[in-house]
Structure 1
């Protein structure tokens, strides 16, 4: 029996390119595996054109294909984190996966592989009764800092967005030396953005131990019954 994986990258050519390269490696290593990448167009409409997307798949085998869905809405006004926009596309992704399964009766759906900004799709994987995995396309240091800040808030009620000038450095288990507070990315000091990224970190903790891609080395995430690639 053939097995099918559904990949869901975050909108944007950068995330899509690394996802396609990972998918190529997987299909080239297993003749029984097929992969369908579901492309969610960027809310701004400034995504790569269809020709640019198709060019990523020119050297791929027949067992690697893609589907571009129609988005549920166009985003207007102030931009919001990608995961909120992506969550609104769940009905369209559900329909695309259902059609895929209807068109491939001899294949068994083996799981979803979701981008770091697409963890809302884990619930959809659960609907189809398959496991879900995550691709983390940033670096291990950013992941470590995000997870530790989330732990500090949830376990110690320590909110880095409320730090005063008396705190100049923070200790992170993923770093070998204290980190200057003034060098923290803006999102960690912002009352608007910090909750979104900490909630994302809570979703990451549902994933099993794995490794980041493409170039950040191993980074384990404990707990739950999901995995990180």
Structure 2
């Protein structure tokens, strides 16, 4: 049976390159697999910047089992840059249009869309995926400890109303159930203790818990998300 996965990487050449390499490896590993990568570019400053050139090289290199779909985005003034999460949220309608086209173009001999794979910073795209009734998976490009801390801080905030951005000076360590010893507060990444960033990472963690878990998705390192559990693959 032919199946297709749809990848949605985060804007930015670092996340795009790693997603493309993962897609290439997966396609090479199984000749029953098709992959479409939906590219969300940042607004181009010029036609010759590195990201624009790379995206152009991808869209002209689409193959039978590995295709690239770059959505069109409006240019922004060079002195204005939206937060990434806001920018991604605004691209939902265009991503939805591409996804609908993929589904509607499915013929008798075309691969069945089996799931979506979204970047860790594109977790809000799960809302688009859910409209099409297929599983959504996530590529988490940081390490398992960072993921565990994110999920546990979100649980403490939602269930116990414990806000790590308001820690008292007397609190020097925090207990995390997946670690063998207490974690020093001074070692927490700044975005967890920042009022400006904590809300974003809490929202991300809530989206992470909606993802589908599947050990078969990654070959080697990586992290799988499913329900309230986190598993290192």
TM over 0.5: yes
Residue pair 2:138, 2:225 contacting (<8 A) in 1 also: no
1:49-198 matches, within 5 Å, as: 49-53=51-55, 62-71=64-73, 74=76, 77=80, 79-80=82-83, 82-105=84-107, 106-107=109-110, 108-198=112-202
Kindly report which structure 2 residues correspond to 1:196-215, keeping only aligned pairs within 5 A, or say none.
196-210=200-214
State the number of aligned residues. Answer: 225
Q: Matches of 1:220 and 1:4 in 2, distance apart?
A: 19
Q: CA deviation at 1:34?
A: 0.9
Tell me: CA distance 1:36–1:208, structure 2 relative to 1, closer, same or farther (3 Å): closer
CA shift for structure 1 position 40: 0.2
CA deviation string 1:165-186 (max 9, x = no partner): 1111112223332222122111
3-state DSSP class of the match of 1:67?
strand
What is the CA deviation profile of residues 20-63 of structure 1, one whole-angstrom value per residue up to 9, with x for unaligned ones? Answer: 12211221122222111011012575873343245569998531
> Structure 1 residues 218 and 20 mapped into 2: Cα distance closer, same or farther (>3 Å)?
closer
CA 1:140–1:45 in 2, change beyond 3 Å: closer, same or farther? Answer: farther
Counterpart in 2 of 1:38? 38
Give the RMSD, CA atoms, in angstroms. Answer: 3.2
Per-residue Cα deviation, 1:149-173 (whole angstroms, up to 9, x for no partner): 1111112111000012111111222
Q: Structure 2: state its 5+ residue gaps.
A: none
Q: Secondary structure at the match of 1:22?
A: helix
Q: Please give the secondary structure, in 1, of the residue aligned with 2:7.
A: strand
Q: 1:171 to 1:213 in 2, by over 3 A?
A: farther
TM-score for both structures, normalised by structure 1: 0.83
CA distance in 1 between partners of 2:176 and 2:142 (Å): 17
User: Structure 1 regions of 5+ residues with no counterpart?
Assistant: none
1:213/1:196 Cα in 2 relative to 1: closer, same or farther (>3 Å)?
A: farther
Q: Rate the CA distance shift 1:115–1:220 in 2: closer, same or farther, 3 A.
A: closer
TM-fit CA distance, 1:118: 1.1
The aligned counterpart of 1:23 is 23
TM-score, normalization by structure 2: 0.82
Q: Is the contact between residue 2 and residue 32 of structure 2 (CA under 8 Å) also seen in structure 1?
A: yes
Structure 1 contact 9–114 (Cα < 8 Å) conserved:
yes
Higher normalized helix content (fraction of residues): 2
**Does the 8 A contact of 1:137 with 1:213 survive in 2?**
no
Helix, strand or coil at the partner of 1:15: helix
Structure 1 contact 125–132 (Cα < 8 Å) conserved: yes
